[in-house]
């Protein structure tokens, strides 16, 4: 076996050389040959001893070499497999940014890399200066051993060229021994580490079981994942301890939230991104082809987008014009002679006679149609009565056959028999009920010809209207709008659900957030990371739903762009007019500038604060204007609305309508009970007033 051992060592050295030179396929073949040679040698040794297994030092060497070869084969195979699947994954644009799928109980969306084609592009990462923390994965004992063995191979290659064959062979044996020792030590360390991790997982499992019941599987799993994450990040544990010492400190709560959300691979952050991606997946297909069209709704508004006058209003205007023209004609023709009036009267009488003759002909035709319909109804009634009698006879015969069959052969299924009888009776009653309904309709039509005419006419009219409604463009637009509204409602409900769930998960992990102050702080800290990446799509969703209203607002802004407060009904003492002011100065300029900043804010509370500041600046402008006067005029609710309308027009942002709709939908009602809610309602009322102009 000594000669064979030398041959095996030589082949292993060649395989290692191929492995080092990155010729993985050749190395795989060579390692396989070495394993085959080792197994053949061991089998020959057993056969030479008449099937008796004897464990010697040489056998242990062969087994050890075979084990090392199999480990290298496993590494080579994994490397080849990864290199084979990576090219197919690289073209997918979603893999790097979309959340990856974990266990089956997770609420995260499945990785788009597993789909045949990515349905939506990745969520664009918002550009900010916040440094995202991510754990650096430390190498395991086996990986460290492989690195050391690679260094040994490098040193062996450098020395091999300088040695003769004998010394090179000795060096190869030394190398193999050293590499085997490294792997053996690494395996022991790996086993110890694995045991330690199992103990940690068991301990965390016990903590989670103590805190949560068996029904709270999701909360239990998140809690365990967070504790496991904090085992490797000591600074997060320190922040948790700080929160436990100061549970009501707003600064500490904000610090904890920011720390968690700054960790890219934190379980709670991954959960947030998973929910975020679900919302994005629903919104993007609805708005991807509409975002360009929404950019046209701006100030000044293109004339081709100007809303048309309502038909009723046009009709009323036309009627007014017609009445005026008729009055004028009557005045002009008042001096005409009476002969013309007599001729006109004769013409009108002849027209009336012609109309009466036409109506008589139509009435005769209708009577003929009614008589034919009554005859057909009588015949149909007779046929239905006969068919109904036949159906009842067949049903009775079948029922008797079934009863006799059950009585003779299936006594143990009497429950099924009762159910079948009941269902058969129900079917029979429903069928007969339908027949009776039809008969009632026919008999009713035969008894009353006028009712028959109205019934048939209404039925035909209803069918014709329903058929025409499908082809009516206005009806199609209405149905599309209703479907879009349903999508908006469903997406809004999902956003509420996911935000509430995220808040509950944070409270499960950090019990100190369960206080009202903690909940408010948690909600305010979750807003920006949740809404910021998907805000443009969420806003586009609402803007398209409110597009007709935004077009009206944009039209009003365009028409009244250079208006003054007086044109919108602002009281004389609140118009802030001054004879010595510059031409470039306009009233309430600070409030207008503040309102324009609403589109640049990234949080809901920030946008709401912008509305509040704009309303406050209106009051401040009045105070500054009358700073030298003895008395400053007060601003009531009725006085504020026209001023807000003026400020909104001057701001020139039609999307304020949709921004306010989103604020009303998603901001917690607790924030809308005081000044913030009053300002939001006032702005919405002013928008409603402008839209109706």
pLDDT (tens digit, 9 = 90+) per residue, 236-249?
Answer: 888 888 888 888 88
Taking CA atoms, 531 is separated from 1, 276, 347, 495, 603, in Å, by 72, 8, 74, 10, 7
Contact 183, 147 (CB under 8 A): no
Task: Give 603's DSSP letter.
Answer: S
What SS3 class is residue 133? strand
What average pLDDT score do residues 252-274 get?
A: 90
* DSSP percent split of the chain into helix, strand, coil, nearest 5: 80, 0, 20
In the block, tokens 């349903």 appear at 486
Query: What value does the mean pLDDT of the chain take?
Result: 75
- Provide the pLDDT for residue 686: 93
Distance between start and end Cα atoms, the chain: 103
pLDDT at 384 over 60: yes
Provide, rounded to the nearest whole percent, the portion of the chain with pLDDT above 90.
20
How many CA atoms lie within 13 Å of 300's alpha carbon, on the beta-carbon side?
Answer: 8
* C-alpha to C-alpha distance for 371 and 449, rounded to whole angstroms: 8
Taking CA atoms, 663 is separated from 93, 414, 550, 607, 642, in Å, by 32, 63, 16, 8, 22
Sequence-distant contacts of 612-620: CB under 8 A, at least 24 apart: 612/675, 612/676, 612/679, 614/647, 614/679, 615/591, 615/640, 615/644, 615/679, 615/682, 615/683, 617/588, 617/590, 617/591, 618/588, 618/591, 618/643, 618/644, 618/647, 620/590
Residue 446 or 83, more confident:
83
- Provide the pLDDT for residue 467: 46
342-346, 386-390, 529-533: which is most confident: 529-533
Nearest to 501 by CA among 124, 210, 172, 108: 108
Range of lowest pLDDT (91-105, 158-172, 583-597): 91-105
Nearest to 618 by CA among 637, 591, 642: 591
Residue range(s) of every CATH 1.20.1050.80 domain in the chain: 546-691
137-141, 216-220, 460-464: which is most confident: 216-220
1-15, 110-124, 476-490, 605-619: which is most confident: 605-619
Range of lowest pLDDT (209-223, 397-411, 524-538, 597-611): 397-411
* C-alpha to C-alpha distance for 77 and 79, rounded to whole angstroms: 5
- Provide the pLDDT for residue 232: 77
Topology of domain 546-691, per CATH? Glutathione S-transferase Yfyf (Class Pi); Chain A, domain 2 (1.20.1050)
* Predicted model pTM: 0.57
588 conformational bin, left if phi > 0, alpha if psi -120 to 50, beta if neither? left
What average pLDDT score do residues 513-521 get?
A: 87
Confidence of residue 403 (pLDDT cuts 50, 70, 90): low
- Provide the pLDDT for residue 126: 57
What average pLDDT score do residues 350-361 get?
A: 62
pLDDT at 156 over 50: yes
* C-alpha to C-alpha distance for 685 and 687, rounded to whole angstroms: 5
Q: How far is CA 553 from the centre of its chain?
A: 28
Range of lowest pLDDT (217-221, 225-229, 335-339, 555-559): 335-339
Cross-strand pairs, 133: 263
* C-alpha to C-alpha distance for 55 and 46, rounded to whole angstroms: 10
Range of lowest pLDDT (51-55, 228-232, 461-465, 536-540): 461-465
* Burial of 651 from C-beta contacts in 10 A (0-12 / 13-18 / 19+): buried
Confidence of residue 225 (pLDDT cuts 50, 70, 90): confident
* Residue 211 token pair: 């805190």
* Residue 663 token pair: 């604020």
* C-alpha to C-alpha distance for 617 and 595, rounded to whole angstroms: 10
What average pLDDT score do residues 105-114 get?
A: 40
Kindly compute the dihedral angle of the four CA atoms of residues 351, 355, 356, 361, in this order, to the nearest 10 degrees: 140
Task: Give 571's DSSP letter.
Answer: -
* Residue 146 token pair: 């492989």
Contact 690, 648 (CB under 8 A): yes
Nearest to 291 by CA among 54, 535, 64: 535
Nearest to 499 by CA among 272, 676, 281, 683: 272
pLDDT at 305 over 60: yes
- Provide the pLDDT for residue 540: 93
Residue-wise pLDDT tens digits, 657-693: 999 999 999 988 877 888 899 999 999 999 998 988 7
Cross-strand pairs, 263: 133
* C-alpha to C-alpha distance for 506 and 266, rounded to whole angstroms: 12
């Amino acid at each position: 076996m000594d000669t064979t051992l030398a041959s095996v060592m030589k082949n292993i050295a060649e395989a290692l050389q191929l492995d080092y030179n990155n010729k993985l396929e050749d190395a795989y073949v060579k390692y396989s040959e070495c394993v085959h040679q080792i197994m053949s040698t061991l089998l020959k040794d057993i056969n030479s001893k008449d099937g008796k297994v004897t464990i010697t030092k040489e056998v242990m060497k062969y087994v050890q070499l075979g084990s090392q070869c199999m480990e290298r084969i496993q590494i080579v195979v994994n490397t080849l497999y990864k290199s084979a699947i990576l090219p197919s994954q690289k073209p997918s644009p979603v893999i790097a940014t979309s959340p990856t799928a974990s266990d089956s109980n997770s609420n995260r969306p499945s990785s788009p890399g597993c789909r045949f084609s990515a349905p939506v592009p990745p969520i664009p990462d918002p550009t900010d200066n916040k440094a995202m923390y991510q754990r650096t994965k430390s190498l395991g004992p086996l990986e460290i051993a492989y690195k050391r063995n690679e260094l040994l191979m490098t040193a062996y290659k450098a020395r091999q060229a300088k040695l003769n064959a004998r010394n090179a062979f000795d060096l190869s044996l030394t190398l193999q021994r050293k590499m085997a020792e490294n792997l053996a030590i690494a395996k022991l360390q790996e086993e110890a580490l694995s045991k330690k991790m199992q103990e940690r997982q068991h301990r965390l499992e016990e903590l989670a079981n103590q805190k949560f019941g068996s029904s709270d599987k999701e909360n239990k799993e998140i809690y365990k994942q967070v504790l496991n994450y904090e085992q490797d990040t000591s600074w997060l544990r320190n922040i948790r301890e700080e929160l436990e010492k100061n549970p009501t400190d707003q600064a500490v709560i904000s610090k904890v939230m920011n720390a968690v959300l700054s960790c890219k691979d934190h379980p709670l952050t991954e959960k947030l991104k998973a929910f975020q991606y679900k919302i994005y997946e629903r919104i993007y297909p609805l708005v991807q082809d509409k975002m360009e069209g929404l950019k046209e709704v701006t100030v000044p508004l293109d004339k081709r987008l100007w809303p048309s006058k309502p038909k009723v209003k046009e009709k009323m205007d036309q009627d007014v014009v017609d009445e005026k023209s008729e009055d004028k004609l009557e005045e002009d023709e008042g001096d005409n002679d009476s002969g013309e009036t007599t001729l006109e009267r004769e013409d009108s009488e002849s027209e009336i006679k012609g109309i009466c003759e036409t109506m008589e002909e139509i009435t005769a035709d209708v009577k003929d149609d009614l008589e034919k319909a009554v005859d057909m109804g009588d015949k149909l009634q007779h046929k239905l009565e006969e068919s109904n009698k036949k159906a009842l006879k067949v049903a009775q015969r079948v029922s008797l056959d079934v009863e006799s069959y059950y009585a003779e052969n299936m006594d143990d299924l009497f429950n099924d028999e009762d159910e079948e009888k009941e269902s058969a009776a129900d079917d029979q009653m429903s069928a007969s009920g339908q027949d009776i309904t039809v008969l009632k309709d026919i008999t009713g039509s035969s008894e009353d010809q006028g009712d028959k005419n109205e019934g048939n006419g209404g039925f035909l009219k209803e069918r014709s209207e329903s058929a025409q409604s499908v082809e009516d463009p206005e009806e199609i637009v209405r149905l599309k709008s209703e479907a879009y509204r349903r999508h908006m409602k469903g997406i809004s409900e999902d956003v509420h659900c996911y935000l509430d769930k995220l808040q509950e998960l944070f409270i499960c992990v950090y019990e100190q957030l369960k206080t009202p102050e903690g909940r408010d702080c948690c909600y305010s800290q979750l807003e920006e990371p949740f809404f910021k990446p998907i805000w443009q799509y969420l806003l586009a969703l609402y803007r398209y739903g409110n597009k007709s209203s935004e077009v009206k607002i944009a039209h009003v802004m365009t028409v009244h762009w250079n208006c003054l407060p007086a044109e919108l009904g602002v009281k004389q003492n609140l118009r802030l007019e001054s004879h010595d002011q510059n031409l470039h100065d306009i009233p309430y300029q600070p409030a207008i500038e503040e309102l324009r900043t609403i589109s640049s804010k990234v949080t809901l509370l920030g946008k709401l604060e912008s509305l509040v500041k704009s309303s406050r600046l209106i009051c401040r402008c009045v105070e500054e204007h009358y700073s030298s006067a003895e008395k400053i005029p007060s601003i009531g609710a009725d006085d504020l609305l026209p001023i807000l309308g003026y400020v909104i027009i001057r701001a020139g942002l039609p999307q304020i309508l949709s921004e306010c709709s989103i604020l009303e939908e998603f901001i917690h009602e607790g924030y809308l009970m005081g000044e913030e809610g009053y300002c939001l309602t006032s702005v919405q009322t002013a928008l409603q007033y402008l839209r109706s102009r």
